[in-house]
Structure 1
Amino acid sequence: MSYNVTIQPSGHQFQVEEGEAVLSAALRQGIGLPYGCKNGGCGSCKSKIVEGSIEQGAHSHTALPQDEQTRGMALLCCAHARSDLVIESREVIGVGDIPVKRLPCRVAKLERRADDVMVIHLQLPANERLQFLAGQYLEFILKDGKRRSYSMACAPHQDGPLELHVRHTPGGVFTDHVFGAMKERDILRFEAPLGTFFLREDTDKPIVLLASGTGFAPLKAIVEHALHKGIARPMTLYWGGRRRKDLYMAELAEQWAREVPNFTFVPVLSEADAADQWQGRTGFVHHAVMQDLPNLSGYEVYACGAPVMVESARREFSAHCGLPAEAFYADAFTTEADLAA
């Protein structure tokens, strides 16, 4: 059995099969709905069910609180149709034009940038080049079939290996392997490009880039892409961490601030101690944005990092700074622990 799904306001339609997630059906048929983690952890695919009924699958309650579910909101990545549906969702143009590939790759270089941050460089086969949008991610396919997602930290125009930034999550099967047994020349398999987090180029609005931890990775790709394309929109990067070491490529951001017109870098630490000798901003990184830019109505925000930071920024920028919901683009880095929250 299949059901018909109509998207408002576009009027586009697609079919979803019994037992198939609504998001999966849309992507399979070339419909570009927004998404991030695809496992109920980040909230990027949250949409309103205008008509019809669904069964909402397992998800993080921070991504879809009960009060939002009561108001008809749903996470389409783990929602299954129980009737024809009318949903309210914005659509993403252009994502469906790029083919998703499954490829082998070789670990070309491992570069430890902090005690818990590894930069992995991946070499593709000689006859392959991956087409993607700056900010998108790949999924490693592990031997047991499980998947792990990481944003690509390089811009699409760059030749050479793909670049990933991986933070060690103690007890995490994949990151324990990265920081323990992984070595150069190892072979991995991945699927890419994925996600709807990328720079929108059809506007001249100034840009706020908001990162926590390794959320810097896709924002690095976006900045490098913008520089390559000669995009002159003002950009301000707010990068938050607990300690100074968490800003593991601060020197690169400082270089952009020195050399790129209309680029500003604001580092923020939440738990700096005496050893950091920190003279800069402190507190929550999204609060620094609100202090500097109390009116965000004319901006676009690209936020990436811990789900609690992304969701707090989404909520507070809208409620207190006038940021339109459609001008907030996000990629929350979810872990297995987040999904249990």
Structure 2
Amino acid sequence: MAFNVTLKQSGRQFQVEPDEPVLTAALRQGIGLPYGCKNGACGSCKGTVVSGQIEQGAHSSSALSNDERTRGMALFCCATAQTDLEIDVREVAGVGDIQVRKLPCRVMSIERKADDVVVLKLQLPANERLQYLAGQYLEFVLKDGSRRSYSMATAPHEEGPIELHIRHMPGGKFTDHVFGAMKERDILRFEAPLGTFFLREESDKPIVLLASGTGFAPIKAIVEHAAFKNIGRPMTLYWGARQRKDLYLMELAEQWAKNIPNFRFVPVLSEPDAADGWSGRTGFVHRAVIEDLPDLSGYQVYACGAPVMVESAQRDFTQHHGLPADEFYADSFTSAADLANPV
């Protein structure tokens, strides 16, 4: 017997089957709820159970703490309904309007941009075009059924291949293959578009873009999309990495700063090498934002990259520097390792 789920803020309703995650049911019925990893690791789908009972599935304690659970919060990507529910969670307009598809693709090129980063370009079949929002991601479906998620770095308006930025994780089955055996013209399969990390175009607030490592990929899509649409809102990109070589497309970001009105670029290194001769900003990248913008009450923030960076930024920006909680948008790069100690 299916259960009814009511969204507190809008009053919209949908049905969830027994043992079906609440998020899955919502997306299946065209209702956009926030999500990222869909495996209990990132916390993007977190909300409150106002009434009713759920069973919370395995998840990372950093995504949902025991204290949050006692206060009625849940991760809807891995929560199943035991009764009818009323839930309080932010709805996302626009996501439900785009069809999620499974498509084959061909590896068009593999270009090494750093010791541990490649830019992978994928060619779709002739006459196929993927509709998506700038900032969303795709999931490769591997032969054993497992999946690997990567943000699309290509803006949606662009013709041609889909670009991904892939960091090598030694011992990782997929990235070992990408950096070892993968070759041009190989065939892969993916599902897309996924995720609720994309530019909210209806706002007129200035934007802070916050990236670490290959978290630059969806930010690239957002910036190029905004420039294409002549969105003139002030936009500042803070891109953090350990050393200069890890800012693998720094020249592109510098070019944006020269050519895009109201756009600033602030690179930040946490462990600069003496050989780099680095004279720019140092330290944690989210702290650089706070140094420049101690009052974030009038901003939107889009953060993407390592979970520790995203979590630190969200906590500090919203608790201590005035950023409204619903103006922090994040895509946390989680992996199976992030669920190594689920609760």
- Residue aligning to 1:63: 63
- The farther-off stretch of 214-223 and 266-275 is 266-275
Could you give the per-residue CA deviations for residues 68-109 of structure 1, whole angstroms, max 9, x where no partner exists?
111111110001111111100110111111111100000000
Measure the CA separation in 2 of the matches of 1:100 and 1:28: 10
Measure the CA separation in 2 of the matches of 1:260 and 1:26: 38
Measure the CA separation in 2 of the matches of 1:228 and 1:34: 26
- Residue aligning to 1:198: 198
Q: Give the 5 Å matches for 1:189-228.
A: 189-228=189-228
Deviation, 1:275, is: 2.2
- Residue aligning to 2:33: 33
Deviation, 1:60, is: 1.0
Matched, 1:115 2:115: yes
Question: How many residues in Structure 1 have an aligned counterpart in Structure 2?
Answer: 341
Measure the CA separation in 2 of the matches of 1:230 and 1:15: 40
- Residue aligning to 1:329: 329
Measure the CA separation in 1 of the matches of 2:273 and 2:165: 25
Deviation, 1:311, is: 1.1
Matched, 1:292 2:284: no
Show structure 1 runs of 5+ residues with no match: none
Measure the CA separation in 1 of the matches of 2:276 and 2:325: 36
Could you give the per-residue CA deviations for residues 285-321 of structure 1, whole angstroms, max 9, x where no partner exists?
0011011001111100000001111111111100111
TM-score, normalized by length of structure 2? 0.98
Deviation, 1:273, is: 2.3
Deviation, 1:276, is: 2.3
- Residue aligning to 2:318: 318
Q: Give the 5 Å matches for 1:157-196.
A: 157-196=157-196
Could you give the per-residue CA deviations for residues 246-268 of structure 1, whole angstroms, max 9, x where no partner exists?
11100000111112121110111
Could you give the per-residue CA deviations for residues 116-143 of structure 1, whole angstroms, max 9, x where no partner exists?
0010000000020000000000000000
Could you give the per-residue CA deviations for residues 146-190 of structure 1, whole angstroms, max 9, x where no partner exists?
010000000000000000000111111101100010000000000
- Residue aligning to 1:242: 242
Aligned-residue Cα RMSD (Å) equals: 0.8
Q: Give the 5 Å matches for 1:66-77.
A: 66-77=66-77
Q: Which amino acid aligns with 1:42?
A: C
Measure the CA separation in 2 of the matches of 1:205 and 1:278: 32
Measure the CA separation in 1 of the matches of 2:200 and 2:295: 21
Measure the CA separation in 2 of the matches of 1:279 and 1:67: 43
- The farther-off stretch of 97-106 and 63-72 is 63-72
Q: Secondary structure at the match of 2:77?
A: helix
Show structure 2 runs of 5+ residues with no match: none
Measure the CA separation in 2 of the matches of 1:84 and 1:246: 49
Q: Which amino acid aligns with 2:153?
A: A
Q: Secondary structure at the match of 1:77?
A: coil
Deviation, 1:335, is: 1.2
Measure the CA separation in 2 of the matches of 1:8 and 1:90: 9
Q: Which amino acid aligns with 2:8?
A: Q
Q: Give the 5 Å matches for 1:6-25.
A: 6-25=6-25
Measure the CA separation in 2 of the matches of 1:154 and 1:73: 35
- Residue aligning to 1:231: 231
Q: Give the 5 Å matches for 1:133-172.
A: 133-172=133-172
- The farther-off stretch of 254-263 and 214-223 is 254-263
Q: Give the 5 Å matches for 1:77-96.
A: 77-96=77-96
TM-score, normalized by length of structure 1? 0.99
Measure the CA separation in 2 of the matches of 1:311 and 1:15: 32
Measure the CA separation in 2 of the matches of 1:276 and 1:2: 60
